[in-house]
């Protein structure tokens, strides 16, 4: 069940109520049952897959910690590495089969065809299990953390199974670490109104991002991208900028709902997005965007590859590897890989250009802390990111290049000459709501950038003010949110009979 | 958990929050819900009638609410009436609406427009079931209609019928004055001022079209209800044209069905008023489109029905009765509305 479904709006309050009513001892089992139920609402069979990953990583933890009894250090490390490798390989094989096998077989078949070899690798019609990339990475981080002695192996299987399947962040992150979440599973979480207020406000904001902003932005993106061959450079630029915010609000909104839902139950989950579009460089962006994944790759891929410790060119190679893999993680299509590759490339070029930028700034006496300089950096970073998003959104590599080449030719014609709002799929009333919502997002992100939580400010108000803000927010969502069956006013205009 | 002042205040805040949200939702739902006929709101406005205040209840589809004018019946005969119509109202819907209406009113006569003898379904167009299910108050009737209409649908598909806000929340884009105020003077009828000139239509069909079994079944339930409540049941049919030959097939089918309805009702001993040849209809001026009467057509049809009703039943005038003063006031408001509305003819010939 999705967070923006009726089922979840029934499921979640019921879970919360029961969770706080039952004794502490029963809560782990209760949350585990709820989490599996939540997951099985998509496809009950795939719960077995999650259980398999859970069992493998649980055992890996026990086995790795069991190696501490081996006296010989070399032998101990070698054995530990074997178990880590076993856990990683088996989990990644499952991920590969369900997510990447068809991309792989398609690629091999194309190569075989090019070489005129009459052999085809079979394709399987498998449905991608929801959230497999998320929970696999979360479970693998546990194996790695136990190996690094960052955490003790969890002996209680039920607690560990809940760590892997904890429903708020199960299907779309944040990808939690055992150091944070597994520890909390063993703690008691008494009912606390502060947690409920904080969590509820964050959920509201997440819903605002998801069912208002993301949905309205999708109208523009879908209208333009679905017929991009007929669109001008300006329309494509606007739509691509909208897509940048759509994916932020969609994903960020979902993360905020997850974090808020967990907070209501007393769990603190790591932040996933921190005003990413206010970044002044692409590398800063990746420290603020999908933080739980970026730090996962940093901790479990970039650093093991050598990070920046093996010289400049090796660092660049490592960066490129991480971003290509990150692209692939997002989807089993080559345009995702290209999207990741371009992001890596931007960072490599940015690093190489550092001395040049410094020289130019010195020559032109540009103060790097001046507001203009910062705004310019943010704008340039956003434009560069827009280029990468084209590869994320476009259906194929060829259409991505087509869109990019069109975007480079922005005609000087005024927007009105290109059909106005309707040409980008918006009615005037929708545009008003979108503009207002974007302002709210912008203000909220500026506060976030300065480490100020708007919800702390709201909670600090008198109850009457606090309630008024909540009423306004809930009603705004209920009225302007995109949910429920589509109301087609044309179908409701009766003419005859 | 220890009940401290902080905890107590927290629960109070939570309670106030829920009560507030429910109240706001109620108000928003009232504003955003779809109002039929630009505020005429036939089914919902029915509940605003004084209990047991109407003599004649009219049921049926658009043919009923474009073809009958309660204000005129009041003006000419002092008889109170209401059109509990809805777009494409099928016989099944008419039955449930009558059952509902009898909880609030004790009419002496029920006038049923017979166009939908043609359908044995719950709805013909799904969105046209909405005016009935959205507004009918008795949960049991609402549930019966929804279950009958969507026997195979899951709860999620049916939920927007029970919680209409799920559908109508996005109506904020088209909010009009009538979403806030719905006048009482319409009495369920709509008036159209557009003119669709037609020539005298082809001779009606002499064939007999089959009436669906379910339509008969539910008509007989209507008949039983009327009998049990000592109500005279009359079926009428407003005139139609063949759209200068463009809708000949539909015209012949409809007139063929009228023939079957006439035969059937004769057997049942129920009066049937086909009206097509009984009123002095002017095909050049009395139609809004080929199937519906306009203002002048409605006037002729109502005059005919009023005369027929007073000739056949004991329906005394309430004009001098002080208890019915509001009907006179509503009638005056209606006349004023007509005067204002007719000034706009030519600019906008839409509903009401």
Which residue's entry shows tokens 């958990």? B1
Q: Which of A467, A474, A478, A491 to mutate to test the interface with B (most CBs of B within 10 A)?
A: A478
Where along chain A do its domains lie?
6-188, 195-480
Question: Residue B112 in 3-state DSSP?
Answer: strand
The predicted structure's pLDDT at residue A128: 76
**What mean pLDDT is predicted for residues A193-199?**
92
Q: Provide the pLDDT for residue B134.
A: 94
Per-residue model confidence as pLDDT tens digits over A20-61: 999 999 999 999 999 999 999 988 988 999 999 999 999 999
How far is CA A32 from each of CA A1, A129, A154, A475, A481, rounded to the nearest angstrom? 16, 19, 16, 33, 31
Q: CB neighbours of A43 closer than 8 A, spacing ≥ 6?
A: A127, A129, A130
- B167·A487 Cβ contact <8 A: yes
State the smallest CA–CA distance between residue A467 and chain B in angstroms.
7
| A23 in contact with B, Cβ within 8 Å | no
How many domains in chain B? Answer: 1
Instruction: Report if residue B183 sits inside a domain.
Output: yes
Q: Tens digit of pLDDT for each residue in B185-212? A: 999 999 988 889 999 999 999 999 999 9
Quick check: bond before A174 cis, omega within 30?
yes
In a domain, B3, yes or no: no
Decide if B97 contacts B190 (C-beta within 8 A): no
Task: State how far residue A2 is from chain B, nearest Cα, in angstroms.
Answer: 14
* Least confident range of A238-252, A405-419, B154-168: A405-419
Q: CA of B142, closest CA in chain A: separation in Å?
A: 19
Which two structure tokens, joined as six digits, stand for A233?
């450079």
Cα separation, B57 vs B80, whole angstroms: 9
State the residue range of the domain holding B131: 49-343
**Which helix (H) or strand (E) is B58 found in, with range?**
strand B56-60
* Residues of A acting as catalytic residues: 330
Window A:419-478, CB contacts with B under 8 Å: 427, 429-430, 463, 466-467, 470-471, 474-475, 478
Count the Cβ atoms, other than its own, within 10 Å of residue B346: 9
Among the partner residues B17, B88, B156, nearest to A497 by beta-carbon distance? B88
pLDDT at A5: 87
Q: How far is A3 from A342, CA to CA, in rounded Å?
A: 32
Position B66 in a domain: yes
Chain B residue numbers with beta carbons less than 8 Å from the beta carbon of A1 are: none
Contacts of A224 (CB under 8 A, 6+ apart): A231, A235, A236, A238, A239, A424, A425
Residue A254 has pLDDT above 50, yes or no: yes
Q: With an 8 Å Cβ cutoff, are A482 and B170 in contact?
A: yes
Chain B hits for A190, Cβ within 8 Å? 1
What CATH number is attached to the domain comprising B133? 3.40.50.1110
Domain-located, residue B30: no
- Evaluate if residue B105 carries a pLDDT over 90: yes
Torsion of CA A53, A56, A62, A64, to 10 degrees: -110
Residues in chain B: 352
Whether the Cβ atoms of residue A231 and residue A148 lie closer than 8 Å to each other: no
Contact state of A191 with B1 under an 8 Å Cβ cutoff: yes
Q: Per the domain annotation, does B41 fall within a domain?
A: no
The complex scores an ipTM of: 0.85
The verdict on residue B39 lying in a domain is: no
Closest CA to B84 of B75, B68, B74: B68
For the ranges A208-212, A421-425, A441-445, B143-147, which has the lowest average pLDDT? Answer: A421-425
pLDDT at residue A413, as a whole number? 55
Specify the range with the lowest mean pLDDT, choosing from A233-237, A491-495, B99-103, B344-348.
A491-495
Distance CA B268, CA B219 (A): 11
Q: Which of B13, B15, B37, B128 to mutate to test the interface with A (most CBs of A within 10 A)?
A: B13
Angle between helices B5-32 and A463-480 (to 10 degrees): 30
Q: In whole angstroms, what is the distance from residue B184 CA to residue B46 CA?
A: 9
Q: Do B291 and A470 touch (CB under 8 A)?
A: no
Q: Mind listing the pLDDT tens digit for each residue in A414-426?
A: 455 555 666 677 7
CB pairs under 8 A between A and B: 86
């Amino acid at each position: 069940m999705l967070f923006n479904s009726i089922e979840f709006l029934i499921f979640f309050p019921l879970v919360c109520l029961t969770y706080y009513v039952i004794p502490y001892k029963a809560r782990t089992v209760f949350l585990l049952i709820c989490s599996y139920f939540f997951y099985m609402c998509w496809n009950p069979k795939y719960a077995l897959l999650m259980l398999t990953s859970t069992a493998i990583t649980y055992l890996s933890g026990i086995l790795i910690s069991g190696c501490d009894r081996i006296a010989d250090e070399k032998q101990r490390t070698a054995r530990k590495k074997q178990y880590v490798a076993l856990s990683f390989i088996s989990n990644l094989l499952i991920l590969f089969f369900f997510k990447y096998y068809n991309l792989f077989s398609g690629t091999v078949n194309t190569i075989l065809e090019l070489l005129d070899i009459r052999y085809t690798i079979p394709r399987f019609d498998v449905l991608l299990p929801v959230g497999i990339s998320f929970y696999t990475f979360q479970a693998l981080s546990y194996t790695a953390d136990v190996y690094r002695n960052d955490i003790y192996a969890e002996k209680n299987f039920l607690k560990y199974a809940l760590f892997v399947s904890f429903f708020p962040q199960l299907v779309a992150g944040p990808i939690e670490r055992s150091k944070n979440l597994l520890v909390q599973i063993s703690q008691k979480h008494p009912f606390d109104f502060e947690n409920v207020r904080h969590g509820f406000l964050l959920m509201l904001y997440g819903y605002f991002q998801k069912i208002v902003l993301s949905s309205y932005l999708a109208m523009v993106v879908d209208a333009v991208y679905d017929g991009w061959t007929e669109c001008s450079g300006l329309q494509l630029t606007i739509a691509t900028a909208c897509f940048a915010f759509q994916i932020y609000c969609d994903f960020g909104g979902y993360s905020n709902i997850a974090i808020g839902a967990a907070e209501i139950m007393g769990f603190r989950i790591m932040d996933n997005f921190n005003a990413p579009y206010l970044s002044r460089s692409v590398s800063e962006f990746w420290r603020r965007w999908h933080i739980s994944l970026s730090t996962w790759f940093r901790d479990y891929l970039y650093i093991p590859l050598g990070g920046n410790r093996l010289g400049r060119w090796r660092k660049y190679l490592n960066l490129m590897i991480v971003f290509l893999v990150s692209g692939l993680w997002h989807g089993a299509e080559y345009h995702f890989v290209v999207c990741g590759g371009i992001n890596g490339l931007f960072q490599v070029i940015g690093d190489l250009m550092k001395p040049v930028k410094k020289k130019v700034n010195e020559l032109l006496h540009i103060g790097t802390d001046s507001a203009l300089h910062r705004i310019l950096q943010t704008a340039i970073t956003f434009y560069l990111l827009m280029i990468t998003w084209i590869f994320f959104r476009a259906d194929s590599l060829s259409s991505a290049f087509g869109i990019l080449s069109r975007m480079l030719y922005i005609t000087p014609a005024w927007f009105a000459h290109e059909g106005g709002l309707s040409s980008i799929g918006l009615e005037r009333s929708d545009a008003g709501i979108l503009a207002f919502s974007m302002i709210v997002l912008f203000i909220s992100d500026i506060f976030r950038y300065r480490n100020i939580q708007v919800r702390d400010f709201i909670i600090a108000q008198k109850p009457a003010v606090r309630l008024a803000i909540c009423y306004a927010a809930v009603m705004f969502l209920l009225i302007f949110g995109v949910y429920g069956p589509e109301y087609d006013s044309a179908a409701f205009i009766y003419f005859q009979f | 958990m220890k009940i401290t002042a902080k905890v107590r205040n927290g629960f109070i805040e939570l309670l106030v929050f829920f009560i507030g949200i429910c109240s706001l939702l109620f108000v928003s739902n009232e504003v955003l819900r779809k109002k039929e006929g630009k505020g005429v709101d036939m089914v919902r406005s029915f509940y605003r009638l004084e209990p047991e205040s109407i003599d004649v209840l009219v049921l049926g589809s658009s043919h009923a609410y474009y073809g009958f004018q309660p204000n005129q019946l009041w003006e000419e005969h002092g008889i109170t009436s209401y059109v509990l119509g809805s777009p494409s109202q099928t016989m099944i819907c008419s039955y449930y609406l009558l059952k509902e209406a009898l909880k609030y009113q004790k009419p002496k006569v029920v006038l049923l427009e017979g166009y939908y003898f043609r359908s044995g379904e719950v709805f013909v167009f799904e969105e046209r079931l909405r005016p009935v299910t959205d507004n009918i108050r008795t949960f049991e009737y609402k549930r019966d209609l929804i279950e009958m209409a969507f026997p195979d649908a899951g709860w999620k598909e049916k939920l927007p019928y029970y919680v209409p806000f799920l559908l109508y929340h996005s109506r904020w884009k088209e909010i009009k004055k009538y979403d806030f105020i719905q006048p009482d003077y319409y009495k369920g009828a709509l008036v159209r001022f557009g003119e669709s000139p037609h020539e005298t239509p082809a001779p009606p069909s002499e064939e007999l079209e089959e009436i669906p079994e379910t339509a008969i079944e539910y008509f007989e339930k209507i008949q039983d209800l009327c009998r049990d409540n000592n109500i005279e049941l009359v079926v009428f049919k407003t005139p139609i044209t063949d759209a200068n030959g463009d809708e000949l097939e539909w015209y012949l089918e409809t007139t063929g069905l009228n023939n079957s309805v006439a035969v059937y009702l004769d057997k049942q001993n129920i009066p049937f008023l086909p009206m097509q040849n009984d009123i002095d209809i002017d095909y050049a001026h009395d139609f809004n489109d080929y199937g519906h009467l306009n203002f002048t057509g409605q006037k002729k049809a109502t005059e005919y029905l009023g005369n027929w009703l007073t000739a056949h039943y004991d329906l005394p005038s309430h004009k001098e009765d002080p208890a019915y003063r509001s009907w006179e006031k509503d009638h005056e408001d209606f006349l004023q509305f007509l005067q204002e509305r007719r000034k706009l003819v030519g600019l906008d010939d839409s509903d009401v």
